[in-house]
Structure 1
Amino acid sequence: MAKNLDLLVCLLIMVIDVVAGVLGIQAEVAENKVQQLRLWIFECRDPSYQAFKLGLGAVVLLCLAHSIVNLLAGCIFIGSKEELDRASPNKQLAAASLILSWVMLGIAFILLISGTVANSRSRKNCGMTHHRQLSIGGILCFIHGLFAVAYYISAVAVFHEERKLNQQGQENKPNQQAPPA
């Protein structure tokens, strides 16, 4: 039953990240449909409310997927070079994929937020061109999903390894009773 639950969690994470990525790309498409005036590298364009809504949805789903992974998988931490050398391959993979998922979250979040804020109804943008923020943020959502699933799977494997080692350690210890007082 636990393996089925792990599979469902992985599918849920991937679906949420894929939907966030698609929303980010669709926000870019909606942003490109608005009227714009371009002069060399400068442009003025009206904000797109549709792009704002889609970008905001992408940001929310990206954060939701990341939160689910970190809440369900916990935190695998390696604090020193010695601990890294002694760690199992699953623990090393978990730590690396955790770091990379946070990096992808940070970059995708910044790109999606800046693209979303640029499409806020309260402002008309004039200045240097900043194209493709929403679509690049959407693509990074896909990559975040891969690292998040890798982290979840490896963190669950580390949990099972440590539980197995603890059980073997308990079985190998002889029952020591306290001496009578």
Structure 2
Amino acid sequence: MAKNVVLLVCFVIMILDVIAGVLGIEAEIAQNKVEELRLWILECRDPSNKAFKLGLSATILLCLAHSLASLLGGCICIQSREELDRSSANKQLAFASLILSWIILAIAFTLLISGTMSNSSSRKDCGIIHHRLLSVGGIMCFIHGLLAVAYYISATATAREDTKLNQQGVHA
């Protein structure tokens, strides 16, 4: 039963990140359909309400996927280099994937929010061209999904290892 729960959680995390990625790319497509006026590297365009909604949805799903992986995966803390060297491979993988997933989350979140805010109905954008924020943010969601699933699986395996070690220590 526990393996089914792990599989279900991994599936949900990946689905949330894949949907977020697709929505980010769709938001970029909707943004590119808006009329624009270009002069060298300067561009003026009206905001796209559809791109705003899709970008906001992608951002929310990305945060939801990260929260789910982090909360259900638990906290894997390594406090020193010596502890890292003594740790099991699962714990090292959990720690590395946790750090990388936070970095990718920060990058993807920033790109998606920047692209979404440039499509806010309260602004008409004139400035330096900044295309592909939403689509690159969407692609980063796919990478985040892989790292979040890697973290969840390795954190779960680490918790099982710790439980087995504690049970063997009590019975020995």
TM tier relative to shorter chain: over 0.9
Partner of 2:92: 92
Larger radius of gyration: 1
Deviation at 1:169, TM superposition (A): 0.3
Partner of 1:52: 52
- The structure 1 segments of at least 4 consecutive aligned residues displaced by more than 4 Å after TM superposition are none
Q: Deviations over 1:108-154 (max 9, x none)?
A: 00000000000000100001000100000000000000000000000
Across the aligned residues of Structure 1 and Structure 2, the Cα RMSD in angstroms comes to: 0.4
Partner of 1:153: 153
User: 1:74-153 to 2 correspondence within 5 Å?
Assistant: 74-153=74-153
Letter in 2 for 1:164: K
Letter in 1 for 2:135: S
Q: Alignment partner of 2:123: what SS?
A: coil
Partner of 2:34: 34
Q: Deviations over 1:139-175 (max 9, x none)?
A: 0000000000000000000000000000000011xxx
Letter in 1 for 2:35: Q
Q: Alignment partner of 1:79: what SS?
A: coil
Instruction: Determine if the alignment matches structure 1 residue 7 to structure 2 residue 7.
Output: yes
> What TM-score do the two structures reach when normalised by structure 1?
0.95
Partner of 1:61: 61
Letter in 2 for 1:8: L
Q: How many residues align?
A: 172
Partner of 1:179: none
Deviation at 1:41, TM superposition (A): 0.4
Q: Output the CA distance in 1 between the equivalents of 2:74 and 2:162.
A: 14
* Identity fraction in percent: 70
Q: Output the CA distance in 2 between the equivalents of 1:2 and 1:33.
A: 47
Q: Output the CA distance in 2 between the equivalents of 1:113 and 1:40.
A: 26
Deviation at 1:75, TM superposition (A): 1.1
Q: Output the CA distance in 2 between the equivalents of 1:77 and 1:105.
A: 19
Letter in 2 for 1:126: C
Q: Which runs of 5+ in 2 are unaligned?
A: none
Q: Output the CA distance in 1 between the equivalents of 2:169 and 2:28.
A: 55
Q: Which runs of 5+ in 1 are unaligned?
A: 173-181
